[in-house]
Structures are given as C-alpha cells and as structure tokens.
C-alpha cells in the first residue's frame, strides 16, 4: 500500500509540486495502485492454474512416452529373440547336415575298412595256403 504522505513528499522533492496528502489526485493514484495489485493477483492466480495444467499435461506426456518406449523396448527384445532363434535354428540345421554328412562318410569308411579287412584276410589266407602248398610240395619231392 502506498503511504499518501510519502507519495506527496516524493512528488514535491522530484517535481517541485506541493500536493496535500488528501488531494484527489493521490486518491486516484492509490485507487490505481489497488486496481493494479488486484489485477496482478488475478494474473498470478491464472498463471498458477495454467502452470499446474501444463505440469499435469507434461506428466501425462511423460507417462505416454514411457509406455511407448517400453513398447519399443519390448518389441526390440522380441525381434532380437526371434532373430537369435532363427540364427540358432539355421546353425543347428547346418550342423545337423554336416554331422549327417560326416556320419555317411564314416559309414562308407567303415564299409571300405571291412572290405579291406576281408580282402586282406583273403589274401592272407591265400598266402598261407600258398606257403603251405610250397612247403607240402617241397616235402613231397624228397
């Protein structure tokens, strides 16, 4: 609140105009000050309400953004898991094909080894029979 006497003294000092503290001009100035103070109070109230609304809206936007981000993270995780599963399936399939090929090769090698063993056994038998024949033939000549 403006002090009338102080306002009158300030006007006299600054402008050289002497005004009585009860002068209607001072009353108008005081009334004007009171109206400005009320307008400022109302404006502050409106600004506070607007700030509260903005704060609530910002919080809602943050919550929405968090939900969207969580959805993106979940989808990215699902996508990564699917890609990893597919890669594992592909690697497993390739490994199974290679294991099957190696098993087929091992089976062939086993058959060849058995055949070679039979051939060697047969050749060994023939060699033994041949040696026995030479020995028997040699004994029979004497």
Reported as a single tens digit per residue, the pLDDT across 43-95 is 999 999 999 999 999 999 999 999 999 999 999 999 999 999 999 999 999 99
Confidence of residue 23 (pLDDT cuts 50, 70, 90): confident
Q: Mean pLDDT across the stretch 104-133?
A: 92
* 30, pLDDT greater than 90: no
Confidence of residue 15 (pLDDT cuts 50, 70, 90): confident
* 1, pLDDT greater than 70: no
Distance CA 91, CA 34 (A): 84
Residues 6 or more apart from 21 whose CB is under 8 A from it? 4, 5, 7, 8
Q: Are 19 and 8 in contact (CB under 8 A)?
A: yes
User: Which pLDDT does position 52 carry in this prediction?
Assistant: 93
* Alpha-carbon radius of gyration of the chain: 55
Pick from 141, 122, 119, 121: which is nearest to 133 by CA? 141
pTM score, two decimals?
0.45
Percent of the chain at pLDDT > 70 equals: 96
Pick from 40, 7, 37, 6: which is nearest to 25 by CA? 7
Confidence of residue 10 (pLDDT cuts 50, 70, 90): confident
Q: Mean pLDDT across the stretch 105-133?
A: 92
User: Which pLDDT does position 8 carry in this prediction?
Assistant: 81
Q: Find how far residue 141's CA is from the centre of its chain.
A: 97
Nearest 5°: CA angle at 29, between 28 and 34?
Answer: 95
Distance CA 17, CA 9 (A): 9
* 125, pLDDT greater than 90: yes
């Amino acid at each position: 609140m403006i002090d009338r006497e102080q306002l009158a003294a300030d006007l006299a000092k600054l402008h050289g105009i002497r005004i009585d503290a009860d002068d209607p001009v001072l009353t108008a100035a005081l009334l004007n000050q009171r109206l400005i103070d009320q307008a400022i109070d109302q404006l502050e109230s409106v600004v506070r309400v607007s700030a509260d609304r903005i704060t609530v809206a910002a919080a809602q936007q943050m919550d929405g953004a968090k939900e969207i981000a969580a959805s993106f993270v979940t989808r990215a995780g699902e996508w990564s898991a699917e890609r990893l599963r597919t890669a594992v399936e592909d690697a497993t399939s390739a490994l199974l094909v290679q294991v099957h090929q190696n098993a087929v090769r091992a089976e062939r090698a086993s058959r060849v080894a058995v055949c070679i063993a039979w051939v060697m056994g047969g050749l060994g038998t023939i060699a033994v029979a041949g040696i026995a024949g030479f020995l028997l033939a040699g004994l029979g000549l004497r």
